[in-house]
Structure 1
């Protein structure tokens, strides 16, 4: 990657405006923000959220007074999103930066803390001279986007009252709650009192993916976090995520990521 293809800066000024005209921007906003303004329209109530902003938009973040820092702005050159480790992700495939609406993800407290930790590590690495730092940064970006994959389309679904979008919203909420114990689409269809066929039809129409892929995304997201940020053994992680054996967990993980759990942990 080029030296300036990824940059990150804390939101510390009263007004933080767009600086890199050709790059995508990821704005992670904490509690201490008054508003974010995009194309001269102000959005309030934006605490604990992430905005993904296409280069075509003008934007600025308005911070509350007397607060030292209230989040990060991450700039990504187009070439970064084409990196092999990022280009396959669902959040990239659906062109999350290029939609008509500005994608906004509200974060739960647990995900918010992990997001902050990831961005802080990216900030630290960008200022270092460590060997292989590009690989480490891309690995952290991959983890960050996997978390965002788990939130993908929640806002548009929640604001749409059609029956199919409500089914998908409820399905994703149930997966988030129960995926560590239940990996089968049929289980969630039973909870929703619909057939697996109809559940898959709804997910396919709303998100353009199979319903099974939503379960897989959640399992991969949790697997990556546990492997990278916990001291639990691979055996412990596999059983906590509901796999019948560590061998099957390793097979599942490699078949969907191209690498083994131990290789990711040691990377």
Structure 2
């Protein structure tokens, strides 16, 4: 194991175990693995999740196919987590790395792609000899944790059976899957067989925003991504995202961002 305060490796061995040393560990499981064992407890059918492990945690990751890597492992020193830029994050305030619980974050598909890009850039920087690379590494780490701590992600504790957390997790998965069809909280409440009031109560308690805020944020993220990185017309994008007309799409985007879709596309 290198002595750099940040190290990233892909999961490639049939069994990957905690290395020697006092490292905090971020395990990002993209594709389903056989299991992850943490402090002698086995968790199976794990995918699309990030685990945050304290140095005192003993852990092993077991995979079936070594030809296909299911994710990444990032090792962090205590010193780098105490850097001023990182210490101000809410993710540290709630003691994401702690010895009492095993925090796990489930990422939405859009966030997962961005997270992978950040990890890949981090890995390139760590291996480089570029000037000011330490500052750049800190900035990317900060961005990584901001995404993990974002309101469109679900923080959950794998030792907990909190029913409200489960509802919010299911709500987020439904939003990811049905955003082009449903834009109203009531639609998702019906899919979950609960009232809109209770769904909103759950989301506010877990994420500190409203259920409508989650839907709106996802619509804005997907709108901006399509406008900036696709060649589809604004009319096509509006209908693909489930808006009744390009005019309403224009109104929605401008009312929430201050810019028209055309302006966002040109920026």
Instruction: Answer yes or no: same fold by TM over 0.5.
Output: yes
The equivalent residue for 1:185 is: 185
Residues 49-198 of structure 1 mapped to structure 2, 5 A cutoff: 49-62=49-62, 67=67, 69-76=69-76, 77-79=80-82, 82-83=85-86, 87=89, 95-98=95-98, 100-105=100-105, 116-130=116-130, 134=136, 137-138=140-141, 141=144, 145=148, 149-153=152-156, 162=163, 164=164, 167-180=167-180, 182-189=182-189, 192=192, 195-198=195-198
Structure 2 counterpart of 1:17: 18
Relative to structure 1, is the Cα distance of residues 221 and 37 closer, same or farther in structure 2, using a 3 angstrom cutoff?
A: farther
Deviation of residue 74 (structure 1)?
1.2
DSSP 3-state at the match of 1:21:
coil
Maintained 8 Å contact 1:147/1:221: no
Contact 2:89 2:146 in 1 (8 A): no
Structure 2 unaligned spans of 5+: none
Aligned to 1:199: 199
5+ residue gaps in structure 1? none
Q: How many angstroms apart in 2 are the aligned matches of 1:216 and 1:79? A: 34
1:116 CA drift (Å) = 4.4
**CA deviation profile, 1:120-177 (whole Å, cap 9, x unmatched):** 33322332345676177347626852789534339678x55x5x55643443333223
Of 198-207 and 184-193, the range deviating more from structure 2: 184-193
Aligned residues: 250
- Aligned match of 1:252: 256
Q: CA deviation at 1:17?
A: 1.7
Residue 27 of structure 1: how far off its partner (Å): 0.8
